[in-house]
Structure 1
Amino acid sequence: MRGFGKAFFATALVYGVLGILLGLHMAMSKNHGQLPTHAHILVIGWVSFAIFGLFYCAHGHAVPKLLATLHFWLAEISFAALVVGLWLLYEGYGQYEPIAAVSSLGYAASFLIFVIAAICGMRASPASTA
């Protein structure tokens, strides 16, 4: 595993651990106010980033480097900002909702870039026998 596949999968592991730790913290404190943040960390951070990593391991050779680079950095930065924005929002700081909103748009844009990368990767892959 190397390149963007390794990078996405490595950060997915970090996000998975952070999501689990947040879930444990909520359970032990009996305060589930950060449930949306917890869910976003696990679904976007762990699941989506792991899938991106596996895709790039299998098909990354067929994706233009600029496209993969743009996808990686936009996804990582917007996701980090999204987590911060959600944390602040669910801690009661409603004035920081624009951070969550703008970073959500950034992540959505990164996902659309991934769709283009996936199309490039699948088109260049040899025909499946299945």
Structure 2
Amino acid sequence: MTIRTHLTAIGVAVMALTGAAAHAQLHDPATPIAVASKVALRGEANNIAVREMRIVRTNDILVVQADMANMGRTDRTVFYRFKWVDQVGNQVGDGESWKQMSVLGLGQQTVKSVAPTSAAVDLRLEMNVEPR
């Protein structure tokens, strides 16, 4: 392998790592890392932060409540859904449909969901925030 090929491979690796780091920074800084790992943000957060997420197992079924806070003064429309997964990461159930919710400026809303079956052991909160 030539020096030029080596440098090109290193450049590609650096760009890939930089892109991964930028992708990891998409979540709002006010969102705790443990919560951010359960949030799949589609696009920009636009001042919406998932401040807290509570997950409990009741009667062998997972139940979740997530608090979304609007850090800005303008109202935001949030589209969200929960994706439930089993032990190996496969989706459980047919999947939820997208739900729409308004979060007033400097306000907070709590969203709730229940797993479709007891096979669900984890979840992802998918969300898309309208820019205005």
Instruction: Using structure 2 for the length normalisation, give the TM-score.
Output: 0.26
Name the structure with the higher helix share: 1
Which of structures 1 and 2 has the bigger CA Rg? 2
Q: Greater strand percent: which structure?
A: 2
TM-score w.r.t. the length of structure 1 is 0.26
